[in-house]
Amino acid sequence: MDKQVIANRIQKDMELFEPFSQTPCHGITRLPFTIEVRKCVDVLSNRMERAGLTVREDAAGNLYGRLEGSEPNLPALVIGSHFDSVKSGGNFDGMAGIVVGIEVARMLRDSGVVLRNPIEIMGTHDEEGMRFGTGFFGTKAMMGEIDDDYLRRLKDSDGVSLRDAMICYGLSPDKIKDAARDYQKEIAAFIEVHIEQGPVLEDAQKQLGLVTGIVGMQRYLVTVTGRPDHAGTTPMDLRIDAMACASKVISQMTGWAKEAGGEGTVATVGFVQVAPNAVNIIPQEVVFSVDVRSKEECCIDQIVGSLRAELEAVCGEKGATFKIDEKLKVAPASLDEKLLAMLEKGCGDLGLSYMRMPSGAGHDSLQTAPKIDTAMVFVPSKDGRSHCPVEWTEYSDLANAAHLVYETLVSNYR
């Protein structure tokens, strides 16, 4: 295999997806169930077909490209990641893993090797949870975890339900259960290649990371409701200021995360909305997101417990009210040791430097790992930057990941 040819093919594919953004020149904004995703999926589908894969879209909008193996009844090896993005993110988060998967299929085709198992290259839909405050919609649907209540309950910031967004996108929400796989019979392994999104590999000068486990995550949307009044005439002790309450709680989040300790424990408030949002009106309502992660679930629970207790105390004292909507709750996951050992051997055979490492980012693999043997390969991120427009990964490093996955499949599944 000529590494330069592989890197060039990956670059060509990666560049095809750059235009599908709602924020051209300001990074990639490819939110789920939008025209940008639809156009991206059309091109992806074309690239899969040209690599010799049989393509289908499931009821959740996930895309699969399948290559049959020599033994028709064996379960598939699924190689996947997501095609949606955050707001003004980079072109590599998610897409790199799908493009590397397609490249592995091309490498198999070019070398004439037929694996015993089928392979499926999967593009997952709405991993980031950017529009509905959630996460892992496509893989949750694949695992049979999405029902009609979920589709009706979750709404975006314009009040559009997930159900209605699916309809606008051309999917039938009533068929969501069709996206569920009989994974025990149909899927032998889930392998995800992803950019690291942090500085560890670059700092350690390693070509690849082999992921041992992924942090658990909980996401909430908190609404604090006060009373809109005149900012000049209402004395400080007679106002019910939703912002004064919310900001007091938010400002403690960093302290709670530090206090909880534990591996990979972090807490973030990344979204805040104020109403009526005017200079001379006391805020009536503040809505904010909470994203808490840790390798140790008890640390997440402790932070969320502090959040609830403080909301009760602060709002109670001021006469405000609050509501906490749970959007996502996933336990931390360990990845499969057997697959890790295969990948480790592959790195050794190919002379690629690597290190074992945990993931602080959430991934589709977090959703699959409890039930399907799952492995992740990390590729270095320049300066550790991600979820921003400057996100960058060298195509030659992505070629290393493609080479590793190809060799691992050929050595173990031929």
In angstroms, give the least distance from the CB of 122 to ligand GLV.
Answer: 17
In angstroms, give the least distance from the CB of 391 to Mn ion.
Answer: 9
Query: Which lies closer to ligand GLV via its Cβ, residue 33 or residue 406?
Result: 33
d(CA 346, CA 351): 8
In angstroms, give the least distance from the CB of 382 to Mn ion.
Answer: 16
Residue type (1 letter), 200 = V
- For 172, the 3-state DSSP assignment is coil
Among Mn ion, ligand GLV, none, the one that 133 touches (CB under a kind-dependent 5 to 8 A) is none
Give the residue, chosen from 58, 84, 93, 196, that forms a contact with Mn ion under the rule CB under 5 A. 93
d(CA 311, CA 317): 10
Give the residue, chosen from 7, 102, 343, 361, that forms a contact with ligand GLV under the rule CB under 6 A. 361
Centroid of chain to Cα 160: 21
| 126 contacts Mn ion (rule: CB under 5 A) | no
| 213 contacts ligand GLV (rule: CB under 6 A) | no
d(CA 210, CA 354): 7
Among Mn ion, ligand GLV, none, the one that 362 touches (CB under a kind-dependent 5 to 8 A) is ligand GLV
Give the residue, chosen from 128, 285, 336, 364, that forms a contact with ligand GLV under the rule CB under 6 A. 128
| 94 contacts Mn ion (rule: CB under 5 A) | yes
In angstroms, give the least distance from the CB of 177 to ligand GLV.
Answer: 26
Residue 133 CB partners (closer than 8 Å, separation 6+):
154, 219, 221, 271, 289, 327, 328
Do residues 329 and 218 lie in contact, with contact meaning Cβ atoms separated by under 8 Å?
yes
Query: Which lies closer to ligand GLV via its Cβ, residue 24 or residue 270?
Result: 270
Among Mn ion, ligand GLV, none, the one that 241 touches (CB under a kind-dependent 5 to 8 A) is none
Query: Which lies closer to ligand GLV via its Cβ, residue 321 or residue 389?
Result: 389
353 backbone dihedrals φ, ψ, rounded to 5°: -80, 145
Angle at 178 between CA 181 and CA 409, to 5 degrees: 30
Among ligand GLV, Mn ion, none, the one that 94 touches (CB under a kind-dependent 5 to 8 A) is Mn ion
What's the Cα-to-Cα distance from 181 to each of 206, 262, 326, rounded to whole Å?
36, 34, 26
Query: Which lies closer to Mn ion via its Cβ, residue 27 or residue 94?
Result: 94
What's the Cα-to-Cα distance from 85 to each of 28, 92, 124, 128, 308, rounded to whole Å?
7, 9, 11, 6, 30
Considering only residues 362 to 381 of the shown chain, the ones binding ligand GLV according to CB under 6 A are 362
Binding residues for ligand GLV (CB under 6 A):
128, 361-362
Binding residues for Mn ion (CB under 5 A):
93-94
